[in-house]
Structure 1
Amino acid sequence: MRMGLAIDASCDLPQAFLRQHNIAVMPIAVKLDGTVFKDDRDQEEIERFLYMKLAGTHAAETEPCSVEDVQRLFLDKLVLEHDCVFCLTITATRSPIHEHVLKASFAILKNYRQVRDRAGVPGPFLMRVVDTRNVFAGEGPAVFEAARLIQAGEAPPAIRERLGVVANHTYAYMLPRDLHHLRNRTKKKGDRSVSLFSAVVGTALDIKPLLRCFRGETGPVGKVRGFEHGAETLFDYAARRVRAGLMVPVVCVSYGGDLSELAKLPGYDGLRRACEETGATLLEAPMSITGMVNVGEGAVTLGFASEEHEPDF
């Protein structure tokens, strides 16, 4: 059986990994200041966005791929290239993408047969939609595990069950730079994770929150003085979790800017060493345009899957 993967553009994984596993990307349109960006994890488009210095624009609008867009992607391409596709999405609590893909799946599974018949492709087609229950780099561990299981020749039911377990045990952490930007964007979405008081006081005192997304719920779990100290705190914590043992041998990290800046942050060498010593893969990716619009340029997100625990920053 030919099995494939599809993700939405908010999932922060490197282009090399996407190409290696032939992972399809469902794009997100980002509109701001009269300019439209096609957020599909293309490096040139990300660089164009950064060059124009638009990440701090509060009025940006994001349009996730529509039901019709998902149908076209599958019926024009994926149902011909694969016999089963796992479609992994950003958590349904933060975006309508998961709902759009679910709605599209009904039409896809109803109409795929005639498409495959016309192309001379025999047999049925399966589509499985998985809510990663996470955001940005936090979507990565489930995708990494799906790719590993497909390569290992696992059957679709076993893969689907395993991905549900991974999604329920994946932790994503985010360290923002610009609290005012983050507060304005979350307020626009009806999210009160960062209050006006916290944004004002935090900016004045250079206090940064450490935010966590776990099982679809996002909120602060710690605070640090200064961005660089926050990065060191986050990377040291992640290194400890790596050494304690991961459910999936990968740590995904994304940065809202030039990726060469990520390695210069305090504590990052320690995380890299922990991954090397334990055999875990460290996947580094630029943050999606959608992510930068929502959390601000220069932010860091980090995701891994492990047994349930409480943060100890």
Structure 2
Amino acid sequence: MRIGVAIDAACDVPRDFIEHNGIAVMPVTVKVDGQSFKDDRDPDEIRRFLDQKLGSRSHSAETEASSVEDVQNLVLDHMVARFDCVVCLTIMATRSPIHDNVIKASFAILKNYRPLREAAGQTGPFLMRVVDTRTIFAGSVPAIAETVRMIRAGKSPAEVRERAAHISDCSYGYMLPRDLNYLRSRARSKGDRSVSFLTSMLGSALDIKPILRAHRGETGPVGKVRGFEHGAQSLFEYASRRVQAGLLVPSLSLSYGGDLDDMRNLPGYHPLTRACGDAGVEILESPMSITGMVNVGEGAMTLGLAGEDHVAEF
């Protein structure tokens, strides 16, 4: 059975991985400061966003996930004739409407696919499977990588869906913001009061950075460090320990809201790459999505891995 994959643009998957595996991207429209950006993992569009140097103005950006109609058109026009099943993976449903939109779109797709498949000479049924990765940004990548691996191994749609859901439950997405004031402003613009004024001001004055975790549909702080570079080193060292303990998926993901070389020059990065090399773990690096940057600020970093339950200590 031919199984295709579609992902939410806010899943920080490298562009070459997307192209090599024929993955379709459900885009997000980002409107900020009178400009519109199509967030679909295109590195040129990400660079155009960064080159605009919108900075603090991005906290008031409007983001529009792919609508129900958009998802229907993508699957019906480009996927039902090529595949017998499509697995759609999204960032956590508690943070974005895209998961619900895909679920709603799937009902219409399954009612209307037959004429399109018959016209293409395909007579069998078409299936859709929707997976909430229950995390965000780079945290969604292990489930996507495992989905691709299962498809390559010739697994059935049921097996692929079950494994992807299991890895999603075991996926950890960590985020290190660079600017707490930006994060607070963005949260307030969306009606989220979780980052208080006092916390952001105190953090800025003392250069305290929180390490945030997105896991099983919930987000919150799991540690705090002084200084972004120290925070990056702490996060890389934590990831190295998890790699050495053993991951459920031999892929670790990193995304950064800027030039990837800046991330690679952070302390702790090279020991992490050596730990991954020794363990046979692939590192998947990508620029952070435009959606991610407008929500957490340029210069932020996210890291994703899938492992057994554990207590993160920073």
Superposition TM-score tier, normalisation by shorter sequence? over 0.9
Aligned to 1:45: 45
TM-score normalised according to structure 2 size: 0.98
Contact 1:6 1:25 in 2 (8 A): yes
- Helix, strand or coil: the match of 1:80? coil
TM-score, reference length from structure 1: 0.98
2:191, 2:252 → 1: CA distance? 30
Taking the aligned partners of 2:137 and 2:195, their CA distance within structure 1 comes to 18
Q: What is the distance in 2 between the residues matched to 1:173 and 1:41?
A: 20
Structure 1 vs Structure 2 CA RMSD: 0.9
CA contact (8 A) 1:7 1:87 kept: yes
Report the AA paired with residue 134 of structure 1. T
Alpha-carbon spacing, 1:294–1:22, altered in 2? closer, same or farther (3 Å): same
Is the CA contact (8 Å cut-off) linking 1:177 and 1:299 kept in structure 2?
A: yes
Paired letter, 2:41 = R
The equivalent residue for 2:156 is: 155
> Secondary structure of 1:81's match?
coil
Moved more, 118-127 or 6-15: 118-127
Partner in structure 2 of residue 195 of structure 1 = 196
Aligned to 1:16: 16
2:182 maps to: 181
Q: Please state whether the residue corresponding to 2:283 is helix, strand or coil.
A: strand
Q: Distance in 2 between matches of 1:81 and 1:191?
A: 41
Residue aligning to 1:102: 103
Matches of 2:163 and 2:194, distance apart in 1: 30
Q: Contact 1:9–1:41 at 8 Å: present in 2 too?
A: yes
Task: Please tell me the residue identity of whatever aligns with 2:99.
Answer: H
Contact 1:179 1:203 in 2 (8 A): yes
Is the partner of 1:240 in helix, strand or coil? helix
- Structure 1 alignment gaps of length 5 or more: none
The alpha carbon displacement at 1:81 in A equals 1.2
Name the SS for the 1:265 alignment partner: coil
Q: Distance in 1 between matches of 2:192 and 2:87?
A: 29
Confirm whether residue 69 of structure 1 aligns to residue 70 of structure 2.
yes
**Is it true that 1:166 corresponds to 2:167 in the alignment?**
yes
1:54-133, aligned counterparts within 5 Å?
54-57=54-57, 58-133=59-134
Q: CA deviation at 1:55?
A: 4.2
CA displacement at 1:33 relative to structure 2: 1.0
Q: Structure 2: which amino acid aligns with 1:135? A: I
Is the CA contact 1:193–1:218 (under 8 Å) kept in the aligned structure 2? no
1:276 aligns with 2:273: no
CA shift at 1:193, angstroms?
A: 3.5
SS at structure 1 position matched to 2:94: coil
CA contact (8 A) 2:92 2:99 kept: yes
Helix, strand or coil: the match of 1:79?
Answer: coil
Q: Name the % identity.
A: 63
**How many pairs are equivalent?**
313
What CA deviation, in whole Å up to 9, does each residue of 1:181-208 have, x standing for no partner?
1112123333343222110000011000
The question of 1:145 aligning with 2:146 is answered: yes
Distance in 1 between residues matched to 2:268 and 2:252, nearest whole Å? 14
Measured after TM superposition, the shift of residue 114 of structure 1 is 1.2
